[in-house]
């Protein structure tokens, strides 16, 4: 972008962070593993450090979303005017991680604590040398404002004429998502301690209980609307109608047949596996109890 | 941290005393997530990784883990692998992560993990670490909405037997050892730091129903069951092959016995003849004769392992079939 030469005053301008080759970063998608990593590193930080920084690994999708999948902490020293980052460590860890998963490349860096300060700008500079347009993630472990804020920033350089003035950090919307497998373990991950991982049947029980509660709630809601106690909400009504309509309309005879057939299949499988088990115990008795002469 | 230091000191002071038996494995949510992520990313290839943590009394705490790069069997990659491990441990040490190896994890397909390699790896680890466990994760079960994480440890009696290198029927009978005694499964407890828990609650508020529930209510488990059945059948074939080996061995043994008897008879008659002729009697045994060579008894290890696998599959099928029952009855009720 050229400065307007006509005026005497030069215009404060942003250096375009996106050139023709790189797409601008629109959103950041973060996997919960990254948050876990950051929290863990924060809890384990050496007593002298106030905050923790580290590298973010992931990939940049062609539509401008940054997919942040993994991270590792980097030791650093920070004083009021100086920042020292252990670059060797950073490169070593990067090499090790790349050995396992060569698709995860550096996409940026993170730091704990709210907001961005001067030290961060320097660190961001360092990361900008490693990858074009790094993303900066702040995870507020101090819970200022009573909220654990997770923010992502992209920086663009402010320059006045020829001189570099400052780097401006623009916030980028953050999308926290969980892959299915992680969602399964989600309950387990949320509590501070879980005594036992639920196995098949217990999980099933839990699920059915929850479903029952849901249905009960809906029932109560419909009842109260019909009796006029709560004002009807057409949206909710539409949802309920959709849900009820999604049950397939089969004549009861056909449905019963379906269910019975499936039941029989399952019973057959159970029978087969019980037989196999019996066979196993028989075979074992024969094998070890066999006497030679 | 202070409580950790105290109990560590206690653990050291108990020096030569036998450590209490391992009751529970406590694993951090972070490690669980890492394992899930790693196994899932590389499915269906089997991957492994190292577990790091602390061994405190009767609880084995797993605080972190890191994945191993996928290796092809190559000479120089061996050294590379060791280097990678050392490098990772060193780096993690610098950020105050516990870097005691307490075991390893591996992914599996449909629960078919009992192999001789597993046992050998266990023995290798056991040389260096007093207590180690192996965590098995099955990513295919995540589709059914189940977190299939299992912790295994070789039972002590099995380790002694293995070191003796002898798996004959006699030895096993005297110890009353069955195929169920090879592996011990240890219950898992998951713990999270308060900070992490706060964040997670923030990120996803308590919904009455989670996605895991939706996955569990899904009624199409047929592909999973089919795969299980296939594996089960294959394993049964393997088992019957092993049994045939035994039958062969028995037959050989009895044939050898018969031969020995025959030879012995011949010797005896010869001796009688010699005695009547006044010559010295020949010895009744002749170790150089090939029919006296003892036939080695085939090791029962394989059959034990296979038996374990089969029972595993059966268990899985049972579990899923049971779930299906509930699902079917549920649909029936809903329909009415």
- CATH number of B20-203: 3.30.70.20, 3.40.140.10, 3.20.20.140, 2.60.60.20? 3.40.140.10
Residues 6+ apart with CB under 8 A from B27: B61, B62, B135, B188, B189, B190, B191
Whether the CA torsion A201, A204, A208, A210 is positive or negative: it is positive
Average pLDDT value for residue range A122-142: 78
Per-range mean pLDDT, top range of A185-189, A265-269, B16-20: A265-269
Residue position matching structure tokens 């028989």: A282
Q: Where do the structural domains in chain B lie, given as residue ranges?
A: 20-203, 236-335
Residue A32's alpha-carbon distances to A185, A282, B8, in angstroms, are: 12, 49, 31
pLDDT tens per residue, range B260-278: 888 888 888 888 888 887 7
Average pLDDT value for residue range B128-137: 79
Phi, psi of A158 (to 5 degrees): -90, 125
Nearest to A188 by CA among B71, B273, B200, B171: B200
Whether pLDDT at B209 is above 60: no
Closest residue, chain A, to B138 (C-alpha): A181
Residue A145 is predicted with a pLDDT of 57
Q: Report CB contact under 8 Å: A36, B196.
A: yes
Residue A5 is predicted with a pLDDT of 42
Q: Which two tokens stand for residue B260?
A: 């020995």
Whether pLDDT at B208 is above 60: no
A150 three-class SS: strand
d(CA A135, CA A108): 4
Closest CA–CA distance from residue A169 to any residue of chain B (Å) = 24
Q: What is the DSSP letter of B288?
A: T
Closest residue, chain B, to A186 (C-alpha): B212
User: CB of A142 within 8 A of CB of A114?
Assistant: yes
Residue B133 is predicted with a pLDDT of 82
Residue B16 is predicted with a pLDDT of 43
Whether pLDDT at B158 is above 80: no
Whether pLDDT at A156 is above 80: no
Residue position matching structure tokens 């074992």: A284
pTM of the model: 0.72
pLDDT tens per residue, range A14-58: 554 444 345 566 777 888 778 778 888 887 777 777 778 888 888
Whether pLDDT at A275 is above 50: yes
Indicate whether A127 belongs to any domain: yes
Whether pLDDT at A94 is above 60: yes
Ordered alpha helix ranges (H), chain B:
2-13, 29-42, 75-94, 116-128, 156-164, 169-175, 194-203, 211-217, 222-277, 301-335
- Residues of chain B in contact with residue A141, where contact means CB-CB under 8 angstroms, are 195
Q: Which two tokens stand for residue B174?
A: 């005297």
User: CB of B68 within 8 A of CB of B38?
Assistant: no
d(CA A95, CA B59): 34
B307 touches chain A (CB under 8 A): yes
- Residues of chain B in contact with residue A274, where contact means CB-CB under 8 angstroms, are 314
Q: Structurally, how many domains does chain A consist of? A: 1
Is B141 or A51 the better-scoring residue by pLDDT? Answer: A51
A11 three-class SS: coil
Residue A19 is predicted with a pLDDT of 41
Nearest to B209 among A148, A214, A290 (CB): A214
Q: Report CB contact under 8 Å: A288, B172.
A: yes
Residue position matching structure tokens 């009696």: B157
- Residues of chain A in contact with residue B197, where contact means CB-CB under 8 angstroms, are 190-192
Q: Which two tokens stand for residue B3?
A: 């409580």
Ordered alpha helix ranges (H), A76-167:
87-100, 118-130
Of the pLDDT bands very low, low, confident and very high (cuts 50, 70, 90), residue B279 is confident
Of the pLDDT bands very low, low, confident and very high (cuts 50, 70, 90), residue B124 is confident
Is A10 or B43 the better-scoring residue by pLDDT? Answer: B43
Q: Report CB contact under 8 Å: B190, A292.
A: no
pLDDT tens per residue, range A171-181: 777 776 665 54
Residue A126's alpha-carbon distances to A129, A133, A134, in angstroms, are: 5, 11, 10
Of the pLDDT bands very low, low, confident and very high (cuts 50, 70, 90), residue A3 is very low
Indicate whether A271 belongs to any domain: no
Is B297 or A128 the better-scoring residue by pLDDT? Answer: A128
Say what percent of chain B tops pLDDT 90.
0
Closest CA–CA distance from residue B283 to any residue of chain A (Å) = 24
Residue A272's H or E segment, with its range, is: helix A252-289
- Residues of chain B in contact with residue A290, where contact means CB-CB under 8 angstroms, are 169, 246, 250
Terminal Cα-to-Cα distance of chain B (whole angstroms): 58
ipTM: 0.71
Average pLDDT value for residue range A247-251: 69
Indicate whether A9 belongs to any domain: no
Nearest to B210 among A100, A183, A277 (CB): A183
d(CA B108, CA B312): 13
Average pLDDT value for residue range B293-318: 71
Say what percent of chain A tops pLDDT 70.
68
> Containing domain of residue A165, as a range?
28-176
Q: Report CB contact under 8 Å: B199, A287.
A: no
Closest CA–CA distance from residue B45 to any residue of chain A (Å) = 13
Average pLDDT value for residue range B53-77: 73
| DSSP per position, A227-269 | TTSS---HHHHHHHHHHHHTS----HHHHHHHHHHHHHHHHHH
Residue B191 is predicted with a pLDDT of 76
Q: Report CB contact under 8 Å: B192, A189.
A: yes
Give the CATH number of the domain where residue A90 resides: 3.40.140.10
d(CA B213, CA A210): 8
Residue A4 is predicted with a pLDDT of 41
B160 touches chain A (CB under 8 A): no
Which of B:188-217 have CB within 8 Å of A? Answer: 188-204, 208-213, 215-217
Closest residue, chain B, to A75 (C-alpha): B95
Average pLDDT value for residue range A272-283: 78
Residue B242 is predicted with a pLDDT of 76
d(CA A28, CA A60): 9
Average pLDDT value for residue range B133-158: 73
Tell me what the pLDDT averaged over chain A comes to: 72
Say what percent of chain A tops pLDDT 90.
0
Indicate whether A47 belongs to any domain: yes
Q: Report CB contact under 8 Å: A192, B194.
A: yes
A59 touches chain B (CB under 8 A): no
A147 touches chain B (CB under 8 A): yes
Q: Report CB contact under 8 Å: B195, A42.
A: yes
Residue A26 is predicted with a pLDDT of 72
d(CA B159, CA B176): 15
Count of CB atoms within 10 A of residue A205's CB? Answer: 12
Which of A:217-246 have CB within 8 Å of B? Answer: 217
Average pLDDT value for residue range A267-272: 80
Indicate whether A158 belongs to any domain: yes
């Amino acid at each position: 972008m050229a400065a307007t030469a006509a005026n005497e005053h030069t215009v404060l301008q942003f250096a375009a962070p996106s050139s023709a080759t790189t797409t601008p970063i629109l959103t950041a998608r973060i996997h919960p593993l990254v948050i876990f990593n950051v929290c863990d590193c924060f809890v384990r930080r050496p007593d002298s450090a106030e905050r923790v920084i580290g590298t973010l690994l992931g990939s940049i999708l062609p539509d401008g979303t940054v997919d942040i999948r993994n991270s590792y902490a980097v030791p650093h020293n920070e004083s009021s005017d100086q920042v020292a980052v252990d670059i060797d460590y950073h490169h070593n860890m990067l090499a090790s991680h790349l050995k396992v998963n060569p698709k995860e490349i550096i996409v940026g860096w993170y730091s704990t604590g709210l907001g961005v300060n001067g030290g961060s700008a320097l660190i961001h500079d360092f990361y900008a040398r490693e990858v074009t347009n790094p993303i900066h993630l702040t995870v507020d472990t101090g819970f200022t404002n009573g909220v654990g804020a997770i923010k992502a920033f992209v920086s663009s350089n402010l320059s006045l004429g020829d001189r570099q003035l400052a780097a401006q950090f623009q916030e980028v919307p953050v999308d926290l998502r969980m892959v299915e497998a992680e969602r399964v373990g989600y309950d387990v991950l949320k509590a501070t301690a879980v005594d036992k991982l639920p196995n098949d049947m217990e999980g099933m029980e839990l699920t059915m209980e929850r479903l029952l509660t849901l249905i009960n709630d809906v029932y109560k809601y419909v009842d109260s609307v019909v009796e006029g106690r709560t004002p009807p909400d057409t949206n909710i009504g539409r949802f309920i109608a959709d849900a009820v309509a999604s049950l397939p309309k089969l004549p009861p005879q056909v449905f019963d047949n379906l269910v019975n057939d499936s039941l029989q299949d399952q019973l057959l499988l159970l029978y087969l596996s019980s037989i196999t088990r019996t066979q196993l115990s028989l075979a074992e008795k024969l094998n070890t109890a066999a006497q030679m002469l | 941290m202070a409580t950790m230091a105290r109990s560590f000191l206690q653990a050291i002071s108990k020096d030569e005393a036998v450590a209490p038996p391992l009751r529970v494995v406590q694993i951090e949510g972070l490690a669980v997530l890492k394992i899930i992520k790693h196994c899932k990313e590389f499915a269906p290839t089997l991957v492994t990784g190292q577990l790091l943590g602390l061994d405190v009394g009767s609880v084995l705490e797993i605080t972190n883990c890191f994945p191993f790069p996928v290796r092809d069997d190559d000479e120089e990659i061996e050294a590379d692998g060791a280097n990678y491990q050392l490098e990772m441990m060193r780096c993690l040490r610098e950020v105050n992560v516990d870097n005691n190896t307490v075991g390893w994890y591996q992914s599996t397909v449909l629960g078919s993990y009992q192999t001789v390699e597993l046992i050998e790896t266990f023995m290798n680890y056991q040389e260096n670490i007093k207590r180690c466990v192996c965590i098995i994760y099955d990513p295919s079960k995540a589709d059914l909405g189940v977190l299939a994480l299992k912790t295994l440890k070789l039972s002590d009696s099995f380790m002694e037997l293995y070191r003796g290198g002898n798996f004959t029927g006699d030895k096993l009978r005297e110890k009353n050892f069955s195929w169920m005694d090879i592996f011990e499964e240890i219950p898992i407890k998951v713990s999270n730091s308060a900070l992490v828990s706060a964040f997670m609650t923030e990120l996803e508020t308590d919904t009455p129903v989670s996605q895991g529930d939706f996955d569990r209510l899904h009624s199409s488990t047929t592909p999973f069951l089919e795969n299980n059945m296939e594996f089960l059948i294959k394993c049964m074939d393997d088992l019957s092959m092993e049994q045939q080996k035994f039958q062969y061995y028995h037959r050989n043994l009895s044939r050898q016995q018969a031969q020995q008897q025959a030879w012995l008879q011949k010797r005896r008659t010869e001796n009688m003849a010699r005695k009547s002729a006044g010559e010295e009697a020949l010895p009744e045994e002749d170790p150089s004769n090939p029919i006296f060579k003892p036939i080695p008894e085939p090791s029962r290890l394989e059959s034990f392992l296979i038996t374990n696998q089969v029972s595993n599959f059966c268990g899985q099928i049972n579990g899923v079939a049971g779930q299906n029952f509930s699902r079917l009855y549920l649909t029936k009720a809903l329909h009415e």
